[in-house]
Structure 1
Amino acid sequence: MTGIANRAQSACGNTRGSTRPVGQEEPRRILLALHDGALLDEACAALEALGMEIAVADTVEEALLLQTERHCELILIDAALARQHAYAAIRHLRALGTRRIPLIACAAGMDEAGRNALLRADIDDVCAPPLVRTQLSRLLHLWLPLKEDEASCDSGGAGMRSVADLLGAGFSTVAQTFCRESAARLDALRSGLRDGNAEDLAGTAHALGGSSASIGAWRMAGLCRALELQCLAGIEGRLPQLMDDIEAEYRRQSHCLAQMIAAQGATRPTSALAR
């Protein structure tokens, strides 16, 4: 275990016992299980710049041990490592906790068949090098679970507040358009789910995820991304739960938008916000 900690410290400049200023928010914990040393250094540098706490594992056994001890909130695993022993690593990692932790596989030149095989093995997403700050920032926005205190509107709408600050008075119109289009797309998602049309369902989820990301509703964008990938891989088991989660998140984001616009002194959005 000392070797793992030492490697994490040398590669990322982070230690398990590191201190932070009083009052500073506890960093989010990310587990990296990457074989390529250069790729690992690249990922560590980017994640450190993003304020993450990093744990590094060389093997499946080390990854399991670190996850048991550190309870990391997202795991980035080498696709080749994930494929070893018929994806046993994924099953073991999934069995470690009750909450679903995002598992992201990293692979260069991954084709659609390879990606779908990983998704069917219970990987959440697949990314390709380079693991630079912009790439990893996007992944974290989409997949990092909300902290308990971020479930409230006041602390959960940071992304949308950034967009509101950028757009100023024009944010009201953008928010109303988002809610109106999102309501229609949610109806289309429900219809697609009933009809079993995976291609249409994936397309609608992609569109809804893109509009959610553009307004800073990152949690909803991540859920749409998950539904889209599950459809593309032909996996049906998680679709109803993902649909429920997307609808619940839409209601939460709509409430946040209404509060933000009211605080700006702008005209309250249409009834779509209260859907």
Structure 2
Amino acid sequence: MARRILVADDSPVNCLVAQRLLRELGYEAGTAATAAQAAERHRGRPFDLILVDSEMALDGGAGLTGRLRATAHAAPAPIIACITASSEEQRSACLNAGVDDVCVKPLHQAQLRTLLLVWLPPRTVEEASRRAARTRAELHLLAELFDNGSGNGFGEVVAMFAADTESRLQALHDAAGAGDAAQLRRTAHALSGSCASMGGWRMAGLCRVLDLKYQAALPASCARLLDDISREYRHFRLQLDHVLRCQQLAATSERTVARRY
């Protein structure tokens, strides 16, 4: 069964576009034009995730975010505020209002896919397998960019990424332990960028959220994020190693065939 996402926005155009993008990604999408309508729909049949316009989430400090958190019998669902400007002030205001994450309008498919990878972990083995297969397919394309015929080109990139990531993960934990928010934000930002370059979209998203939480002075909510980032790195490293072995085996097979002829 498709995961259900609610789009809460008073613009019918924004709702329609988001709904279409989500359906293209394989999700069931509902809409709500007001805070009251969104809270009522979530109360009646809880959604797996809620995308909410930032103005609606911040409405007088007691807008949709507060109503959803207080909704009786509703399953907990990540709430993501959609903002119209990438400003620290607006992002921090939304996070302090209780949302889990923020994204910048206009929404686009790659952005939504990363958000959903972060906030909707797979519920079944089949769903996890589909995500893993998609990651491996993207990594194979990346590996082809570094294919030098020996299988070592991509191996050098993987080794560089691993060494850099492990160093930065240690720096994240050190900065968190020392309460050094500035260093933690710098490290999380850099790590998010390198993970995105390698196709590690979920890890990149988790690092981005960690950066945002510290930016909004919400470090108390970050201990679990640090664990999630480390765990995701272990999963992603397995994917990288699998693709690297496939490339090396293919290169070895090609050399063997060439020697025979």
TM-score by length of 2: 0.79
The aligned residue for residue 38 of structure 2 is 63
Task: Measure, in 2, the Cα distance between the counterparts of 1:87 and 1:214.
Answer: 39
The aligned residue for residue 243 of structure 1 is 226
Q: What is the percent sequence identity of the aligned residues?
A: 35
The aligned residue for residue 104 of structure 1 is 80
SS of 1:84's equivalent in the other structure is: helix
The aligned residue for residue 253 of structure 2 is none
Q: Given that residues 163 and 215 in structure 1 are in contact (C-alpha distance below 8 angstroms), is that contact kept between their aligned partners in structure 2? A: no
Task: Measure, in 1, the Cα distance between the counterparts of 2:126 and 2:110.
Answer: 25
The aligned residue for residue 253 of structure 1 is 236
- Correspondence for 1:222 among 195, 201, 205: 205
> Do structure 1's residue 234 and structure 2's residue 217 form an aligned pair?
yes
| Aligned amino acid, residue 111 of structure 1 | S
- Correspondence for 1:164 among 133, 136, 139: 139
Q: Given that residues 3 and 28 in structure 2 are in contact (C-alpha distance below 8 angstroms), is that contact kept between their aligned partners in structure 1? A: yes
Q: Given that residues 83 and 90 in structure 2 are in contact (C-alpha distance below 8 angstroms), is that contact kept between their aligned partners in structure 1? A: no
CA RMSD of aligned residues (A): 2.8
Task: Measure, in 2, the Cα distance between the counterparts of 1:148 and 1:203.
Answer: 33
> Do structure 1's residue 139 and structure 2's residue 94 form an aligned pair?
no
Structure 1 alignment gaps of length 5 or more:
1-25, 268-275
- Correspondence for 2:47 among 64, 72, 87: 72
Q: Given that residues 157 and 253 in structure 1 are in contact (C-alpha distance below 8 angstroms), is that contact kept between their aligned partners in structure 2? A: no
SS of 1:117's equivalent in the other structure is: helix
Could you say if the C-alpha distance between residues 154 and 77 of structure 1 is closer, same or farther in structure 2, counting changes exceeding 3 Å? closer
Which one has a larger percent helix, Structure 1 or Structure 2?
2
Task: Measure, in 1, the Cα distance between the counterparts of 2:120 and 2:84.
Answer: 26
Residue 155 of structure 1: how far off its partner (Å): 4.6
Task: Measure, in 2, the Cα distance between the counterparts of 1:179 and 1:248.
Answer: 14
| Aligned amino acid, residue 43 of structure 1 | A
Stretch moving more, 94-103 or 48-57: 94-103
The aligned residue for residue 199 of structure 1 is 182
Could you say if the C-alpha distance between residues 257 and 196 of structure 1 is closer, same or farther in structure 2, counting changes exceeding 3 Å? same
Alignment deviations for residues 32-76 of structure 1 (CA, whole Å, 9 cap, x no partner):
000112222222232233332111112223222322444322211
Task: Measure, in 1, the Cα distance between the counterparts of 2:121 and 2:92.
Answer: 26
> Do structure 1's residue 180 and structure 2's residue 149 form an aligned pair?
no
The aligned residue for residue 58 of structure 2 is 83
SS of 1:157's equivalent in the other structure is: helix
| Larger radius of gyration between Structure 1 and Structure 2 | 2
The aligned residue for residue 271 of structure 1 is none
Q: Given that residues 46 and 75 in structure 2 are in contact (C-alpha distance below 8 angstroms), is that contact kept between their aligned partners in structure 1? A: no
SS of 2:220's equivalent in the other structure is: coil
Task: Measure, in 1, the Cα distance between the counterparts of 2:127 and 2:233.
Answer: 14
Stretch moving more, 43-52 or 237-246: 43-52
Alignment deviations for residues 194-251 of structure 1 (CA, whole Å, 9 cap, x no partner):
1211121111111111222222222212211111100111111112221111112222
The aligned residue for residue 22 of structure 2 is 47
Q: Given that residues 19 and 29 in structure 2 are in contact (C-alpha distance below 8 angstroms), is that contact kept between their aligned partners in structure 1? A: yes
Alignment deviations for residues 102-161 of structure 1 (CA, whole Å, 9 cap, x no partner):
3211232363222211111221222332224344344334x3411123599755434531
Structure 2 alignment gaps of length 5 or more:
145-150, 251-261
Stretch moving more, 256-265 or 202-211: 256-265
Task: Measure, in 1, the Cα distance between the counterparts of 2:203 and 2:61.
Answer: 32
| Aligned amino acid, residue 182 of structure 2 | E
TM-score by length of 1: 0.76
Stretch moving more, 235-244 or 132-141: 132-141
Could you say if the C-alpha distance between residues 198 and 212 of structure 1 is closer, same or farther in structure 2, counting changes exceeding 3 Å? same
